[in-house]
A and B are shown apart, each in its own frame.
Chain A
Amino acid sequence: MYAQEVKSTGERPKTLDEMAPQERAFQLRVDADIKIEPKEWMPEGYRKTLIRQISQHAHSEIVGQLPEGNWITRAPTLERKAILIAKVQDEAGHGLYLYCAAETLGVSRDALTEQLLAGKAKYSSIFNYPTLTWADIGAIGWLVDGAAIMNQVQLQKCSYGPYSRAMIRICKEESFHQRQGYDILLKLCAGTAEQKEMAQDALNRWWQPSLMMFGPPDGDSVHSAQSMAWKIKPMSNDDLRQKFVDQTVPQADYLGLKVPDPDLKWNEAKKGYDYGAIDWNEFYEVLKGNGPCNKERMEARQKAWDDGAWYREGLMAHARKSAARKLAAE
């Protein structure tokens, strides 16, 4: 997911009996689906975990602009170009909404950006893979956005008000993202043999990384248990992954593409697909910074930040000057 492996307190969730009265009142509100709002009392662990999760999510949106942004100047038609710009622009918008949600927890956007650039904050592993062909733009929309939407739809109901509201807005705006990706692939699969091959190649490269987006199995992770008790993590990683596979395989069939997994087969008993093992070593390597594009992604964000400093400062200086002039004139 966009926020993978978010660490929380590292302890198993307390029972209501073990909680002090204030914390118990908080948990009861969460249990009753009453939203927690910025200035209310909340456990410090809840606040910290949320900052980590929301900022990871925000960083993912911002870094996520890069692999697709690559293809803006090369999009094959004027309409595809416009759609792609609108989509990458939405990602900037979603990053913005999420940073604002994190800011309600008492941390500034610039501070979060600096954490990202210093390598202290994570973003989704998926954006460290390269976009090599136009079909990759289709695959990202279909698979990556498809995976993200599954989680985000559920997060609309999360316990923290500002995060939940940001998610509602994001889900509303994002409804076209997955469709435009699938539409790109539909066109390729109905096109020339070379185009169809391009589509198959994209699926081959993006399938496994997309499954990794949901994060490693969290069966007995204390972080997951706590986050689920706080209602900031709606489903287990494996449940979401299963849902994604079940939804996506028929879509691949419709395109006439083959999912690159020899172990993939329908399991009638569980009414879902069994799928092959995921290479978690690769996942951890990418998280550690050793993915194919980690370096490029961070360099691009660092450059935008550094090169933009004079601009941000220049506008701030002008705002101060004109405020002073206005004051003097009064």
Chain B
Amino acid sequence: MTTATKTDAALFEFALRMGDNAVVLAQRVGAWCGHAPAIEEDIAFANVALDLIGQTRMWLGLAGEIEGKGRDADQLAFLRDARAYRNALLVEQPNVDFAHTLMRQFLFDAWHHPMLVALKSSADARVADIAEKAEKEARYHLERSEDLIIRLGDGTEESRQRMQAALDALYPFAGELCAADALDADLAARKIAPDLGALGERYLAYLKSTLADATLTAPVGAAVRKGGKQGLHSEHLGYILADMQFLQRAYPGATW
């Protein structure tokens, strides 16, 4: 009985972490729609936002189901305050310029794709099912972001400088994605989610080789910035939610 309750609570949190990463990043990516550097990029990047919203609906839908209090994906997305959000700090970092936006996407995709590959063999069938669908999308996102990082790192002097500045700013937030806490350890022990330690090693090795191809260097000795997964966020998240939740908050109970 205690085990079942514990599993449910942990799995609920985990589904929130996955879903919140997707919805917060979708907010950031979606804001580029109509403002990207080229029409082709506008269209491609909107596809990424669309995929992330689709994934949000699956993960938060699962979270609501596990919680069993009748909250659906929309209620979880639009009616939780910042302290109840469980996304990693990386995805809430501001767009700044297209270099920061792409670097944030790359650092996320490079973790997200192998994570979903591992989740495809989750002991929980519902998790495995979502991962099965999301993994294909994430693979495409990574293909694109990896390609663009390398091209822009090895492009003009200005594009290299911008990508390097973005890497310097965002690299400290990459570590949180693979930093396991008790909840992660619990889920790994139950084979619901992968061992983040092993995933993290592969993540770092992959970053190192791809960044080298891009002629970029990861900052040395940067402190790992974390806390989002446990609900302790940067100031940015409050503004993201104020924007996103405005209608639901201003007109309580209305349907749209």
Q: Could you list which residues of chain A lie within 8 angstroms of chain B, going by C-beta atoms?
A: 62, 65-66, 69, 72-82, 85-86, 88-89, 92-93, 95-96, 99, 134, 184, 187-188, 191-192, 194-195, 300, 303-304, 307-319, 321
Contact = CB atoms under 8 A, between A and B. Distances in A.
B234 interface: no
A95 B154 CA distance: 30
B151 A80 contact: no
Contacts of B40: 96
Contacts of A315: 148, 151-152, 155, 159
Interface residues of B, number: 52
Identify the interface centre among B40, B246, B255: most chain A CB within 10 Å of its CB.
Answer: B255
B207 to A, nearest CB: 20
Contacts of B41: 308, 311
A65 to B, nearest CB: 4
B38 interface: yes
B159 A308 contact: no
B227 to A, nearest CB: 24
Interface of B: 23, 26-27, 30-31, 33-43, 46-47, 49-50, 53-54, 56-57, 73-74, 77-78, 97-99, 148, 150-152, 154-156, 158-160, 162, 240, 243-244, 246-248, 251, 254-256
A157 to B, nearest CB: 26
B31 A72 contact: yes
A184 B256 CA distance: 7
A51 to B, nearest CB: 18
Contacts of A134: 247, 256
14 contacts: A85-B46, A86-B46, A88-B33, A89-B50, A92-B42, A93-B43, A96-B39, A96-B43, A188-B256, A192-B254, A194-B254, A308-B36, A308-B98, A321-B154
B104 to A, nearest CB: 15
A216 to B, nearest CB: 29
Contacts of B27: 73
A195 B151 CA distance: 48
Contacts of B26: 81
Nearest to B240: A73
B37 A89 contact: no
Given A78-B77, A195-B251, A308-B37, A313 B159 contact: yes
Chain B interface main SS type: helix
A77 B30 contact: no
Contacts of A311: 37-38, 41, 98-99, 152, 159
B46 A88 contact: yes
Nearest to A86: B50
Contacts of A88: 33-34, 46
Contacts of A321: 154-155
Given A88-B34, A96-B40, A318 B151 contact: yes
Contact of A72 (B30, B36, B156, B240): B30
Identify the interface centre among A62, A78, A187: most chain B CB within 10 Å of its CB.
Answer: A78
B56 A78 contact: yes
Given A77-B78, A310-B162, A314-B152, A72 B33 contact: yes
Contact of A304 (B35, B53, B78, B154): B35
A77 B78 CA distance: 8
Given A73-B243, A315-B151, 13 more contacts: A66-B34, A73-B31, A79-B57, A89-B43, A92-B33, A92-B43, A96-B40, A195-B251, A303-B35, A311-B152, A315-B148, A315-B152, A317-B159
- Which A-B residue pairs are the 3 nearest by beta carbons? A308-B37, A314-B159, A314-B155
Contacts of B54: 82
A318 B50 contact: no
Contact of A76 (B35, B73, B256): B256
Contacts of A89: 33, 42-43, 46-47, 50
A101 B54 CA distance: 33
Nearest to A62: B39
Nearest to B61: A78
Identify the interface centre among A81, A99, A314: most chain B CB within 10 Å of its CB.
Answer: A314
Nearest to B30: A72
Contacts of B246: 74
A191 B37 contact: no
